[in-house]
A = this chain, B = another copy of it.
């Protein structure tokens, strides 16, 4: 925290909103609130309202349209889990596409894999990338890497017509509200399937089974139409509604459990705070009520 040297804020110090509670009401009658030291940034773009504030418990926080997207304290969990599970399932990932994820956290994790030659990041909202570079430098740390190519456009349009290109695609989307709605629909996944090569793997964040059970059912039935291997996995993220997030993995060839080689993890495990070889396997163990959603 270098609060005193903060010079890039869009909100002058003298008029900053200070010491209040930010509350995410979510789609239900349950809310999570974070006490805020002061607001750092607020901007309504053509796509969404971006807010960034300094919280007491979780460091800096970015919210999109009132939903917490990442906090400095726990962003490592989501980003490690969306990236390393598919990248340690694929034996030699070289070419990766990330849709959404403009904060750069997924890219940072992807580049820990030395086989990677190119990462394309397709983020609809340029302001998310700009704000992340200023306010979350440790998350956006690798967005200027030579292997990274950023496009500011709609990911749904981007994948149309692409054939057999990628080893891994990550759908690092916000909640299925606003610009991200299309990222949860079948036509998009059909195009994404085609954009993967013959041994390709896709992972998408698939919300919480407590908050969006019907969405999980829907995503499962879409994935099963296209991918021979479909598995959901879980991670505990304290600042997401219900404290848990699920991911869906669709794979053309490699199984995330049978084809997983725990020895490869040793190379980078020192740089990780959540993911390890045991967590990789354990994250696919689903509670009975979740298994029942997939029947």
Contact = CB atoms under 8 A, between A and B. Distances in A.
Given A23-B33, A29-B55, A30-B32, A243 B234 contact: no
Contact of A243 (B21, B34, B236, B276): B236
A284 B276 CA distance: 13
Nearest to A291: B276
Interface stretch (A163-171, A219-227, A267-275): A267-275
A151 B272 CA distance: 47
Interface centre among A208, A278, A286 (most CB of B within 10 A): A278
Interface of A: 21, 23, 28-35, 55-58, 74, 77, 208, 210, 234, 236-244, 269, 272-276, 278-279, 281-289, 291
Contact of A282 (B31, B58, B244, B281): B281
A178 to B, nearest CB: 22
Contacts of A285: 276, 278-279, 281-283
A287 B276 contact: yes
Contacts of A287: 77, 236, 273-276, 279
A33 B30 contact: yes
Interface centre among A35, A58, A236, A276 (most CB of B within 10 A): A236
A30 to B, nearest CB: 5
A28 B35 CA distance: 9
20 contacts: A28-B56, A28-B57, A29-B57, A30-B32, A30-B34, A30-B57, A30-B238, A30-B239, A31-B32, A33-B33, A236-B236, A236-B243, A238-B243, A272-B288, A274-B287, A275-B287, A276-B288, A279-B286, A281-B285, A283-B285
